[in-house]
Amino acid sequence: MTPTISVSNLSKHYKVPERDGGMKAAVISLFNRKYRTVKAVDDVSFNIEAGEVVGFLGPNGAGKTTTLKVLSGLLHPTSGMVNVLGYEPTKRSHDYLRQVALVMGNRNQLSWDLPAIDSFELQRAIYSIPLNEFKKTRDDFIDLLELKDLVNKPIRNLSLGERMKMEIVGALLHRPKVLFLDEPTIGLDVTMQRRIRAFIKEYNQRWGATVLLTSHYMADVEALCKRVIVIHHGHTLFDGELNQLVTQFSSFKTLGITLPDPEVDLSQYGEVLTRDGARVTLRVPKAKTSQVTANLLSDLQVDDLTVEDTPIDDVIDSVFTSTKEAK
Amino acid sequence: MNPIKLALTYLRIGVLNEMQYRINFFIQLLQSFISVATGLIGLSLVFGQVKTLAGWSRPELLAVMGVHLLMGGVIRSIIQPNMERLMDDVRNGTLDFALTKPADAQILVSVREFRFWQLVDVIVGIVVISIAFIQLNGTLGILQIFGFLSALIMGGIMLYSVWLMVTSISFWVIRVQEISNLFEGLYAAGRWPVGIYPSWLRTGLTFLVPVAFAVTIPAEALTNRLTGTSLLIALGMTLLFVVLSRGLWRLGLSNYSGASS
Amino acid sequence: MRRYIDFYLATMRISILEQIQYSVANYFYMIGMITEPVIYLVVWTTIARQQGGTTGGYTVGAFAAYYIIWTLVRNMNIVFTPFGWEWRIREGQLSMMLMRPIHPIHSDVAFFAGWKFVVILLWLPLAAILSWIFKPTFDIRWMEVIVFSLAIWGAYLIRTMLLSLLGMITFWTTRVSAIFELYFGLELILSGRLVPMTLMPVWIQNLSNYLPFKWTFFFPIEALVGNLTDVQLWSGFGMQLLWIATGIFLLNIIWNFAIKQYSAVGG
């Protein structure tokens, strides 16, 4: 079966004018423009099947948003092939646009002064959604996100979290088959983030939509994505399951120890990460975990001991630092 | 802190800031040029039909245009930007900082913005006035210069005071953004000597929004129309407006409580 | 097509509902805007009176009529500005608009059209007040009313095309305010905004016949307050349609280039 999204050797290069500072260079640049090529995305390939929820991870400027924009048709690739639902996104055919949605956290589409319900009506007209379908979808969403009392209030009277919920509903009313989410929970409080994530998960499960999301928050990715693609400097560093990312790149475990005596020095047992009064966290190579644990318990009086995988954030960080050093 | 020193400091920062955008000089020059060009076209259309307009000859009306341009430059470089920013601060509740600085708040909010390149209009205005003056074969006596400068300064102070008063109203009535629009429209009326307007409008343009004092009176000084009486009235009006605006400002400030979202 | 009508109606509805909430702001804006024609009116009626009641073929009452209808036509002329395009690109709003299966221009035309309905309604009392103050003389036939009602929308569409075309420039450079100022200066002279075109020197009048500006301003006003024959009225409207078609044609071409530029650089 053909994949819903297929990207082959995608590259997106920008020519950026390069100029030294100072008056003289400025004048020279008027006549002789020097350019430098920035490779935002460099030879990236992947396929995504229908119904998958895939996370794009990477630091700022890694190429995540660029890739998303190419997939949604906003940017032309410099080279390579992109195919979504059988369409070439850059052609931006109306049929294509009716089946996808791009949601960027912080962008407001709904009318500020009017109740969301009015803006939803406009969305119906924009996407030519048949009336019965529209009503059912809209009411389903309102139930799922518990918005019944809020849809008739002007958007300006809602809190930030409530507004985001409305924006997401508005963005999905046409039941797109493919969803591009760029930092969907940015700026929201923890409860709101959870609600939005739950909704996206529900949307994916109920209607089998394919979801691509970029995020800074590991919690987003952990909650929603089985598969992650790690992008750095425009290249894919990793494309696979999230827990594999942890095992592949992390050869450490984190030990959390609570001692009655806060003055004890634990540096002989492993790398001390944090020290917060009586609680210390240690980083220990995986292979040595049981040995070190045994030593700790026999040498010292320990109130509490936990053994955990390295937090994914740290794994990602170490992936990027290691690649940086490797360069 | 010494208010003069404060004002000069802000001025310096404003200038340094804007000097970075040298292209704005050319943009502003172009805008002034277009302003003058359309003004001249307007004048030639008028004088294609008549020899004088309400008793003003062509070079005299050119002088009015020059004063209008000059004063417009002053308004758009100092008065308007500061008052608009003040309106924003009151609306967004961000005025608190101004109250915690060890300087008179009114001075602070009146000088912190400075659109340097708008001064181009002042220069162009002076050029137009000079040309008009030459065409008039006018005499440049001490009395005239004094009359002109004092009328100009008083007119400027009056305009500033009125702006401040209206902006102060935003302490009570949050939505006064559109006032800027109204002001610009009313100021545009100053392009012509206020004598041509119907009496009710003339009154408004003299005593409510003193465009007459900002433009017509200084132009009268240049064209030998200015009477001592007018100048005295101008002085009285200036003092009145200064006192009123200061009072309203302080009243508003004391009532001020940060607007929260 | 049916879905476009649906879209236009839905957008206009939103726009009307929004603008009703801003009635006060709209009024302030309109009053500020009225100062411009009042100034022109006062200057020209002063001249007319000095000349014994008429100048350039316009009586005092005719000038009043011209400049009062001017205020409605001016309102109809207000459309999405090139500066708005600059903002749109900069803030990323354009990207969101491009993701919809409908051309952004439709959004603009529909949104402002809805707004115009509110404006026309709000304008009526203002027109009454201005008439009471300045005593215009009107000599109106039914045909003139019909063509005028069409012509104000024609003017709206022509100006939308013109300013959208200008707005396209912002896809390539942001240093455009100078170009726009130049454009607005030309428009002021050639459209009938400053004075009725018949008071302009003949060579300017001839020039304006070949440009779209006069059809956005002078023609609609003259249709109502002037003495055009039926033939002149309808051929004038025909010219408006011609300019709208030209605008659409040019816009389509330039838009393709603009989008190519946008999708190469990402705004």
Q: Domain tally for chain A? A: 2
CB interface of C with B, residues 171-200, below 8 Å? 175, 177-178, 181-182, 184-185, 188-189, 194-195, 199-200
Interface check for A98 against chain C (CB to CB < 8 A): the answer is: yes
Q: Is residue A80 included in any domain, yes or no?
A: yes
Binning pLDDT at 50, 70 and 90, where does residue B258 land? very low
Q: Is residue A26 included in any domain, yes or no?
A: no
Q: Is residue B164 included in any domain, yes or no?
A: yes
- pLDDT given for residue B260 in this prediction: 37
H-assigned helices in A4-107: 23-31, 64-72, 94-97
Between strands A279-285 and A304-309, the pairing is unpaired
- pLDDT given for residue A327 in this prediction: 41
Interface probe with C: pick from B28, B47, B49, most Cβ of C within 10 Å: B49
Per the prediction, chain B carries an average pLDDT of 85
Do A244 and A82 form a contact (C-beta atoms < 8 A)?
Answer: no
A228 and A163 belong to one structural domain: yes
A118 and A240 belong to one structural domain: yes
Helix orientation angle between C177-190 and B23-47, rounded to the nearest 10 degrees:
10
Tens of pLDDT, residue by residue over A142-174, are 999 989 999 999 998 998 888 889 999 999 999
Last residue of a domain, one of A246, A278, A301: A246
A260 and A207 belong to one structural domain: no
Residues spanned by the domain of B30:
3-255
CA-based R_g, chain C, Å: 19
How close are the terminal C-alpha atoms of chain C, in Å? 31
Residues 6 or more apart whose CB falls under 8 angstroms from that of C200 comprise B45, C189, C208
The two tokens of residue C222 are 């003259």
Looking at chain A, the whole-number percentage of residues with pLDDT higher than 90 is 38
A285 and A228 belong to one structural domain: no
Between strands C58-59 and A210-214, the pairing is unpaired
A267 and A157 belong to one structural domain: no
Q: How far apart are CA C72 and CA A44, in angstroms?
A: 57
Burial class of residue C40 (count of CB atoms within 10 Å of its CB; 0-12, 13-18, 19+)? buried
- pLDDT given for residue A48 in this prediction: 93
Residues of A in contact with C23 (CB under 8 A): none
The two tokens of residue B239 are 């003092």
A236 and A177 belong to one structural domain: yes
Pick from A321, A190, A158: which is nearest to A250 by CA? A321
Between strands C54-55 and A271-276, the pairing is unpaired
Write down which chains contact chain C via at least 3 CB pairs under 8 A.
Answer: A, B
Do A113 and A164 form a contact (C-beta atoms < 8 A)?
Answer: no
- pLDDT given for residue C6 in this prediction: 94
CA distance A66 to chain C (A): 9
Do A183 and A24 form a contact (C-beta atoms < 8 A)?
Answer: no
Binning pLDDT at 50, 70 and 90, where does residue B68 land? very high
User: Residue B89 corresponds to which amino acid?
Assistant: D
Pick from A105, A113, A112, A126: which is nearest to A196 by CA? A105
In this structure, the number of other CB atoms found within 10 A of the CB of residue C251 comes to 20
Q: For residue C79, what are the β-bridge partners?
A: none
Interface check for A207 against chain C (CB to CB < 8 A): the answer is: no
**Cβ-based interface (< 8 Å): residues of C facing A:** 3, 6-7, 9-11, 13-14, 17-18, 21-22, 92-93, 95-96, 98-102, 260, 262-266
- pLDDT given for residue A22 in this prediction: 60
| Closest residue of chain A to C15, computed from CA coordinates | A111
Do A292 and A284 form a contact (C-beta atoms < 8 A)?
Answer: yes
Q: Is residue B260 included in any domain, yes or no?
A: no
- pLDDT given for residue A320 in this prediction: 66
H-assigned helices in A73-177: 94-97, 116-127, 131-144, 160-172
Do A182 and A106 form a contact (C-beta atoms < 8 A)?
Answer: no
Q: How far apart are CA B166 and CA A117, in angstroms?
A: 38
Pick from B71, B25, B44: which is nearest to B212 by CA? B71
Q: How far apart are CA A35 and CA B22, in angstroms?
A: 24
Is it the case that chain A and chain B have 3 or more CB pairs lying under 8 Å apart?
Answer: no
- pLDDT tens, position by position, for chain C (267 residues)? 888 999 999 999 999 999 999 888 888 888 888 989 999 999 999 999 999 889 988 999 999 999 999 999 999 999 999 999 989 998 888 999 999 999 999 999 999 999 999 999 999 999 999 999 999 999 899 999 999 999 999 999 999 999 999 999 999 887 778 888 889 999 999 999 999 999 999 999 999 999 999 999 999 999 999 889 999 999 999 999 999 999 999 999 999 999 999 988 865
Span B22-50, mean pLDDT? 88
Pick from B18, B61, B14, B19: which is nearest to B42 by CA? B61
A228 and A274 belong to one structural domain: no
Span A230-248, mean pLDDT? 82
Q: Is residue B95 included in any domain, yes or no?
A: yes
Phi-psi category of residue A130: left, alpha or beta, with phi > 0 → left and psi -120 to 50 → alpha: beta
Q: How far apart are CA B84 and CA C150, in angstroms?
A: 39
- What does the DSSP 8-state code read for residue A165? H
Q: Is residue B261 included in any domain, yes or no?
A: no
- What does the DSSP 8-state code read for residue A234? T
Q: Is residue B163 included in any domain, yes or no?
A: yes
Tell me: pLDDT of A37 over 90: no
Q: What is the dihedral of CA A59, A60, A62, A68, to 10 degrees?
A: 110
Residues 6 or more apart whose CB falls under 8 angstroms from that of A115 comprise A151, A152, A153, A154, A155
How many B×C Cβ pairs under 8 Å?
Answer: 86
- pLDDT given for residue A242 in this prediction: 83
Q: How far apart are CA C158 and CA B160, in angstroms?
A: 40
- pLDDT given for residue A256 in this prediction: 85
Residues of B in contact with C50 (CB under 8 A): 50, 53
Pick from C158, C161, C160, C216: which is nearest to C187 by CA? C216
Residues spanned by the domain of A294:
251-309
Residues 6 or more apart whose CB falls under 8 angstroms from that of C88 comprise C94, C97
- pLDDT given for residue A26 in this prediction: 59
User: Phi first, then psi: what are they for B130, rounded to 5°?
Assistant: -60, -45
- pLDDT given for residue C159 in this prediction: 97
The reply to whether residue C178 touches residue B201, judged by beta carbons under 8 angstroms, is no
| Closest residue of chain C to A107, computed from CA coordinates | C93
Tens of pLDDT, residue by residue over B234-255, are 999 999 999 999 988 888 887 7
A150 versus A316: the higher-pLDDT residue is: A150
Q: Is residue B7 included in any domain, yes or no?
A: yes
A74 and A191 belong to one structural domain: yes
Tell me: pLDDT of A312 over 70: no
Looking up tokens 């958007």 gives A155
Between strands A53-57 and A304-309, the pairing is unpaired
Pick from B115, B102, B117: which is nearest to B6 by CA? B102
Tell me: pLDDT of A260 over 80: yes
The reply to whether residue B46 touches residue C47, judged by beta carbons under 8 angstroms, is yes
Tens of pLDDT, residue by residue over B74-131, are 999 999 999 988 888 887 778 777 666 655 778 878 888 888 888 999 999 999 999 9
Binning pLDDT at 50, 70 and 90, where does residue A325 land? very low
Tell me: pLDDT of A64 over 80: yes
Q: Domain tally for chain B? A: 1
Looking at chain A, the whole-number percentage of residues with pLDDT higher than 70 is 88
User: Phi first, then psi: what are they for A203, rounded to 5°?
Assistant: -60, -45
Last residue of a domain, one of A193, A225, A246: A246
Tens of pLDDT, residue by residue over C224-242, are 998 899 999 999 999 999 9
A110 and A208 belong to one structural domain: yes
Between strands A53-57 and A79-84, the pairing is unpaired
CA distance A90 to chain C (A): 8
Tell me: pLDDT of B40 over 50: yes
The reply to whether residue B38 touches residue C188, judged by beta carbons under 8 angstroms, is yes
- Please give, one letter per residue, the 3-state secondary structure of chain B: CCHHHHHHHHHHHHHHHHHCCCHHHHHHHHHHHHHHHHHHHHHHHHHCCCCCECCECHHHHHHHHHHHHHHHHHHHHHHHHHHHHHHHHHHHCCCHHHHHCCCCHHHHHHHCCCCHHHHHHHHHHHHHHHHHHHHHCCCCCHHHHHHHHHHHHHHHHHHHHHHHHHHHHCCCCCCCCHHHHHHHHHHHHHHCCHHHCCHHHHHHHHHHCCHHHHHHHHHHHHCCCCCHHHHHHHHHHHHHHHHHHHHHHHHHHHHCCCCCC
The two tokens of residue B176 are 């006064």
> What is the CATH number for A203?
3.40.50.300
Do C267 and C94 form a contact (C-beta atoms < 8 A)?
Answer: yes
Do A16 and A36 form a contact (C-beta atoms < 8 A)?
Answer: yes
- pLDDT given for residue C224 in this prediction: 95
CA distance C251 to chain A (A): 18
Residue A289, helix vs strand vs coil: helix
Tell me: pLDDT of A216 over 50: yes
- pLDDT given for residue A116 in this prediction: 94
A266 and A295 belong to one structural domain: yes
A79 and A111 belong to one structural domain: yes
A289 and A214 belong to one structural domain: no
> What is the CATH number for A275?
3.30.70
- pLDDT given for residue B259 in this prediction: 44
CA of B165: how far to CAs of B104, B106, B161, B245, in Å? 17, 12, 6, 5
